[in-house]
Amino acid sequence: MTPVSQSAYSQQPWWADAVFYQIYPRSYADGNGDGTGDLIGICERLDHLVELGVDAIWISPFYRSPMADGGYDVADPCDVDPIFGTLADFDALLADAHERGLKVTIDIVPNHFSDQHVWFRQALAAAPGSPERARFIFREGRGANGDQPPNNWPSMFGGPAWTRVPDGQWYLHLFAAEQPDLDWTNPEVPAEFARILRFWLDRGVDGFRVDVAHGMAKEPGLPDMDLSVITPRDEGAHMPSAADIRFDRDAVHEYHRGFRKVLDSYPGDRMAVGEAWVPSSERMARYAAPDELNLTFNFELVVAPWSATEFRSAIDRSLHAMAAVGAPCTWVLANHDVDRTATRYGGGARGLARARAAALVQLSLPGAAYLYNGDELGLENVELPDDALQDPTWERTGHQVRGRDGERVPLPWTGTRPPYGFSTGPTSWLPMPEGWAASTVEAEAADPASTLQLYRTTLRLRHTLADLQGTALEWLDSPDGCLAYRRGGLSVWLNAGVAAVPMPACELVHASAPVGADLEPDVAVWLRS
């Protein structure tokens, strides 16, 4: 047994063990019947979250945006895009959520702006070498005529990370060409983001999710990279290798210390969680060092294959790395960038059984947890027709990689046909499949065996069982293929193997599936020892 103590954060602020629910706003609920989810829609469906039992929401970007990357191309970070509503709608949503006891967190996107942001328009209108261009990363090209990109970096969405402008200079974009990277060594950039943070903190938000937290600092001199270290996007979620010099440069931590100073200047435990896809737990933990972001997503369970050994080492590594910086772990199974959990575990009945079991593991680990909207219904990715695809990856890879639309299909709420109460209009921004009648919130609420009911029970127990409220975790011996740990008087067992094992002789508190004398494969249980 390996006792893990994280007593450094025993005086916990609210976020240290909170369950956050990610709302992808285009897909959660449509309040105005145009087929795209919006802020009014979220307001109308807040009670779903109260009944589910989450503590906080994270709303993906709803800012003014041409939507070249689903809103992660921000044209005005201090205003609401008309497809999502107005600032008044946001204020109403914030007030309604707070009234229900839900904390509200939102995205900030500091690595890049949209090419429609006023700064980038000014940069294009200004001359090479001007202060307007110095907010972004403009460089001369290589080759006799400067017609080769300044270095060999590829964009995360396919194609080169550089685009040439009419006067011959090139600008860097680690993502789509419509998302020019900002130059964080220019003091105007951190100052502008401090202003953006304050704008939303003054309105009353409880915190932020920091997009591409590992990308804002660039390797000095922008040298060529070793292209062999890149894993193709269609091979699933992956951590960039330590040799991928586009990310995780040491200089980035200074920028996060700046964010933290702004957060700490407000009352009420405002927080930030970093999105840092980095290759080791130790590198990940640095983003949640005492004077940096409060939390950092732990993607180890997203990339771990279905294996007790892999789960155990992912959990162990993460607990120890985070304990070393005195911050809680932040467990993640899915988000809008990776396949849905049930799909990742193989889809169908087996994928769903595993996703349900994984939820019992995720939600019994010490620390915070993030749920992705629709996972509480056990939804799978949807195979979409080519002409429906909107992820920039599809175009930028010349239709080789389909991208992330499959996990972004709107949520089914009621009824038996698309759009299942998502919208009062006839269609939705991504088509919803036939066959989701049994997966609506309405249908699952009426079915005691549904995944929705499993999540509701799991979250109720998580909040009421004192055993889960501490920070200690002890590993227990378990048969091959199984994972077992103790939290207080509760033990958690997962059978990720292929054979049934005898159920330990303990009182059954909770299970991801009906159980008998044996613990069957793909089932997790909570037991009272």
Binding site for ligand NOJ (CB under 6 A): 69, 72, 109, 175, 211-212, 275, 336-337
Which of 272, 329, 333 shows the shortest CA–CA distance to 58? 272
Any idea what DSSP says for residue 268?
Answer: S
Q: How far is the CB of 175 from ligand NOJ (least distance, A)?
A: 4
Name which of 120 and 175 has its Cβ closer to ligand NOJ: 175
> Contact, 232 vs 240, CB < 8 A?
no
Length of the chain: 529
Q: Is the peptide bond before 419 cis (omega within 30 degrees of 0)?
A: yes
Q: How far is the CB of 337 from ligand NOJ (least distance, A)?
A: 5
Q: How far is the CB of 19 from ligand NOJ (least distance, A)?
A: 19
Which of 112, 197, 199, 188 shows the shortest CA–CA distance to 156? 112
Is 115 in the active site? no
Which of 273, 354, 365 shows the shortest CA–CA distance to 316? 365
Q: Which residue has its beta carbon closest to ligand NOJ?
A: 72
Q: How far is the CB of 290 from ligand NOJ (least distance, A)?
A: 25
For residue 405, the cross-strand partners are none
| Secondary structure (3-state) at 129 | coil
Q: How far is the CB of 120 from ligand NOJ (least distance, A)?
A: 15
Distance of CA 336 to the CA centre of its chain: 6
Name which of 299 and 455 has its Cβ closer to ligand NOJ: 299
Name which of 56 and 176 has its Cβ closer to ligand NOJ: 176
Structural tokens at position 512: 């991801």
Q: How far is the CB of 212 from ligand NOJ (least distance, A)?
A: 5
Catalytic residue selected from 30, 211, 375, 380 = 211
Name which of 109 and 315 has its Cβ closer to ligand NOJ: 109
Is 47 in the active site? no
Name which of 332 and 360 has its Cβ closer to ligand NOJ: 332
Name which of 337 and 522 has its Cβ closer to ligand NOJ: 337
Dist. CA 319–CA 322, nearest whole Å: 5
> Contact, 384 vs 431, CB < 8 A?
yes
Structural tokens at position 30: 């449509």
Structural tokens at position 292: 């940096």
Dist. CA 124–CA 164, nearest whole Å: 11
End-to-end Cα separation, the chain, in angstroms: 16
| The one-letter amino acid at 486 | R
Catalytic residue selected from 181, 275, 407, 522 = 275
Q: Which residues contact 230 (CB under 8 A, 6 or more apart)?
A: 154, 240, 241, 244
Q: How far is the CB of 74 from ligand NOJ (least distance, A)?
A: 9
Name which of 394 and 420 has its Cβ closer to ligand NOJ: 394
Name which of 43 and 278 has its Cβ closer to ligand NOJ: 278
Structural tokens at position 279: 């290759």
Dist. CA 32–CA 36, nearest whole Å: 8
Structural tokens at position 372: 């992705």
Helix locations, 265-307, DSSP H: 281-285, 300-303
Dist. CA 114–CA 310, nearest whole Å: 39
Q: How far is the CB of 391 from ligand NOJ (least distance, A)?
A: 8
Name which of 211 and 376 has its Cβ closer to ligand NOJ: 211
For residue 490, the cross-strand partners are 487, 528
Dist. CA 31–CA 45, nearest whole Å: 9
Q: How far is the CB of 294 from ligand NOJ (least distance, A)?
A: 19
H-run or E-run covering 434? none
Dist. CA 497–CA 520, nearest whole Å: 9
How does 240-270 read in b/e, with b if 16+ C-beta sit within 10 Å? beeebbbbbeeebbebbebbbebbeeeeebb
Question: Would you name the residues annotated as active-site residues?
Answer: 211, 275
